[in-house]
Amino acid sequence: MSLWEKDINDIHFNSLNKNIETDILIIGGGITGLTTLYYLKDYQSICLVEKNTIGCGVTKNTTGKITYLQGAIHVDLMNNINYEVASLYLKSQITAISLIKKIIKKEKISCNLEQVSSFLHAEKKKDFSKLEAEKNFLLDNYIPVQEHNHAISVVDTYVFNPEKYLNGLKNILQNKTIYEHTNITNITFKNGKYYCNANSSLIIAKKVIIACHYPFFLFPFCLPLKSHIEKSYLIAYKTTTNEHNSGITISNPGYSYRYYQDGKAIYKICLASSHRSTLKQNDKDNFLNVQKKFHIPSDKIVAKWSNVDIITEDKLPFIDEIKNNMYIATGFNTWGMTNGILAAKILSDKILNKENEFAPLFKIQRKNFYKVKSFFSNTFFSIYGFINSHCFKKWYPNTLHFIKNNGQKIAIYVDQNNKRHSVYPICPHLKCGLIFNEEEKTWDCPCHSSRFDLDGNCIKGPSTKNISCKK
Ligand SMILES: Cc1cc2nc3c(=O)[nH]c(=O)nc-3n(C[C@H](O)[C@H](O)[C@H](O)COP(=O)(O)OP(=O)(O)OC[C@H]3O[C@@H](n4cnc5c(N)ncnc54)[C@H](O)[C@@H]3O)c2cc1C
């Protein structure tokens, strides 16, 4: 459980059990999907579907920083693309911060929004010049920057509780058409309309917005070749002082932290051990690394969780129309609080035929994106992840056994109450072998981040199917 999960409110929506027709269908009820619905709330015929419950996806596992100091991203954009793109990205993130503040203020959403200083740290000598370059870039763009020992900081950034923000939106959007427990498994295009299979019903839509984090379909778009998945580990522990700041390091793997105050209780949330999801799969060690890095006393830990996000090769999200009236918002590079809001604004502006100055920055056919090196590295790591997940021996607890039935591998986990949980440990998405996550008691796909609970229910896509086995 992440620190935010306990705050998900009681407003819930029915699942879809009939065929419907709508002008706009939004798929996914995370920060991106729900904020898009908010911007389009005056539209007459609009519907949002969520495969589980609103806010239960990646958004519930975030650190909840709202900042433009995102590592040395502007230096990377300057080096890899150009100065103008870096400047426009900075402007887009500052705009996203003001958009989210505006929504929170206008709708009086109580979500522990707090203005804090954001720090960027350079731990290694090789990062000092990058820190200097990021500082100079920010100064050049009229951002006041403070200098510290091997760190810089800015003041106009925020932290919040992402689930309380989504609760606020749920309150406002209660009378819109929202379906929970409604899983879109297939989309086909016929006579200018999209036919979307959901549970055993059909949704016919003129426009579809894919806001489901990792798209469940391969074509069009083929995300696996344009991105990779990064996994990180977080621990929240009780502390006595709120230092009113948040921070991140330049290097990768690095670390990140923030404070969270809820009434009198103060927590520090610490993140470390980030890695490509196809590598370093021993979650126990990864959590221990976080604990060691931040000297966290075991008895103060209140929550421990992992999270994944989609990393694009040029560090810019994809927010665009993929084909006729089908739109996508994904690849937020671990900065989805700002980019999710921005995506909601850009896509709703597109639908309302309004200009948005940031739309060209996130186009899927942008120049500079396709680099031979990154294409091959993604292909290599996808294949490596696939082979590794099937062939190399892994460590498993002795409460887990494998058997074969009619040539099919079945994994059986015996829990503390001696209850047996059987699953087929292969991801239905693209057939990667699943890894047993002993710490969180889930089956995780190292290739594209699908997750399943002990009984094989899919708790995170792109898989649209369960892996349950009634044995
Ligand atoms: C460790 C970590 C820390 C982070 N910290 C920060 C931070 O401090 N600040 C920041 O800006 N960003 C942060 N991020 C990034 C941010 O959390 C994500 O980019 C963002 O939450 C993504 O939001 P989303 O709405 O796109 O996806 P989600 O929240 O995952 O929402 C997508 C929804 O779609 C649903 N869905 C999926 N498939 C289907 C389907 N077939 N049918 C119907 N529904 C479907 C899912 O159930 C889910 O609820 C962090 C990321 C990581 C990994």
- pLDDT at residue 281 in the model: 67
- pLDDT at residue 280 in the model: 67
Task: Report residue 222's pLDDT band, with 50, 70 and 90 as the boundaries.
Answer: confident
CATH architecture of 5-60+164-223+316-370: 3-Layer(bba) Sandwich (3.50)
Q: 3-class DSSP state for residue 445?
A: coil
Q: What is the 3-state secondary structure (H, E, C) of 188-201?
A: EEECCEEEEEECCE
C-alpha span between 286 and 133 (Å, rounded) = 31
Give the model confidence (pLDDT) of 88-135 as tens digits. Answer: 999 999 999 999 999 999 999 999 999 999 999 999 999 999 999 999
Lowest mean pLDDT among 92-106, 168-182, 270-284: 270-284
Task: Report residue 380's pLDDT band, with 50, 70 and 90 as the boundaries.
Answer: confident
Count CB atoms within 10 A of the CB of residue 21.
13
Task: Report residue 53's pLDDT band, with 50, 70 and 90 as the boundaries.
Answer: very high
Give the model confidence (pLDDT) of 413-468 as tens digits. Answer: 999 999 999 999 999 999 999 989 988 899 999 889 999 999 999 999 999 999 99
Q: Give 388 or 42, the one with higher predicted confidence.
A: 42
- pLDDT at residue 324 in the model: 94
Q: Is the distance from CB of 38 to CB of 173 less than 8 angstroms? A: yes
Task: Report residue 470's pLDDT band, with 50, 70 and 90 as the boundaries.
Answer: confident
- pLDDT at residue 171 in the model: 97
Structure letter (DSSP) for residue 426: B
Helix 83-106 vs helix 336-351: crossing angle, to nearest 10: 90
* Residue corresponding to tokens 């989805």: 336
* pLDDT above 80 (res 355): yes
The fold for domain 390-460 equals Rieske Iron-sulfur Protein (2.102.10)
Q: What is the mean pLDDT of the chain?
A: 93
Q: Is-above-0.75 flag for pTM?
A: yes
* pLDDT above 70 (res 400): yes
Closest C-alpha to ligand 1, atom 4? 62
Closest ligand 1 atom to residue 308 Cα is 53
* pLDDT above 90 (res 398): no
d(CA 23, ligand 1 centre) in Å: 25
Q: Is the distance from CB of 339 to CB of 332 less than 8 angstroms? A: yes
C-alpha span between 296 and 272 (Å, rounded) = 13
d(CA 59, ligand 1 centre) in Å: 4
* pLDDT above 70 (res 198): yes
State both tokens at 178.
């929202």
Lowest mean pLDDT among 26-35, 66-75, 201-210, 372-381: 372-381
C-alpha span between 34 and 168 (Å, rounded) = 10
d(CA 418, ligand 1 centre) in Å: 34
Closest ligand 1 atom to residue 306 Cα is 1
- pLDDT at residue 319 in the model: 98
In angstroms, the Cα distances linking 352 to 106, 261, 435 are 21, 38, 44
Task: Report residue 391's pLDDT band, with 50, 70 and 90 as the boundaries.
Answer: confident
Percentage with pLDDT > 90 across the chain: 81
Task: Report residue 369's pLDDT band, with 50, 70 and 90 as the boundaries.
Answer: low
Q: Give the up-direction half-sphere exposure of residue 84: CA atoms within 13 A in the CB hemisphere.
A: 3
* pLDDT above 70 (res 372): no
* pLDDT above 80 (res 23): yes
Pocket lining for ligand 1, CB < 6 angstroms: 27-33, 49-52, 56-59, 62-65, 183-184, 211-213, 216, 232, 234, 271, 307-309, 332, 334-338, 340, 461, 464
Closest ligand 1 atom to residue 54 Cα is 49
Count CB atoms within 10 A of the CB of residue 441.
12
Chain region(s) in the chain for CATH 2.102.10.10: 390-460
Q: Could you list the beta-strand ranges (E) of 263-419.
A: 265-276, 301-312, 318-323, 326-330, 400-405, 408-414
Structure letter (DSSP) for residue 363: -
* Residue corresponding to tokens 């000297």: 295
State both tokens at 49.
């579907």
* pLDDT above 70 (res 259): yes
Q: Span 138-144, mean pLDDT?
A: 98
Q: Is the distance from CB of 347 to CB of 208 less than 8 angstroms? A: no
d(CA 93, ligand 1 centre) in Å: 17
* pLDDT above 90 (res 36): yes
Amino acid at the residue 23: D
Q: Give 253 or 103, the one with higher predicted confidence.
A: 103
Tell me the helix, strand and coil percentages in the chain, rounded to 5. 30, 30, 40
Best probe residue, ligand 1, of 59, 95, 286 (max atoms within 8 Å of C-beta): 59
Q: Is the distance from CB of 326 to CB of 193 less than 8 angstroms? A: no
- pLDDT at residue 393 in the model: 66
- Could you write out the DSSP letters of every residue in 102-149? HHHHHTT--S--EEEEEEEE--SGGGHHHHHHHHHHHHHTT---EEET
- pLDDT at residue 278 in the model: 75
Q: Is the distance from CB of 432 to CB of 385 less than 8 angstroms? A: yes
Chain region(s) in the chain for CATH 3.50.50.60: 5-60+164-223+316-370
* pLDDT above 90 (res 412): yes
- pLDDT at residue 463 in the model: 96
In angstroms, the Cα distances linking 59 to 10, 56, 178, 471 are 17, 7, 18, 34
Closest C-alpha to ligand 1, atom 33? 28
The fold for domain 64-83+105-162+225-312 equals D-Amino Acid Oxidase; Chain A, domain 2 (3.30.9)
In angstroms, the Cα distances linking 447 to 143, 224, 227, 426 are 39, 9, 11, 11
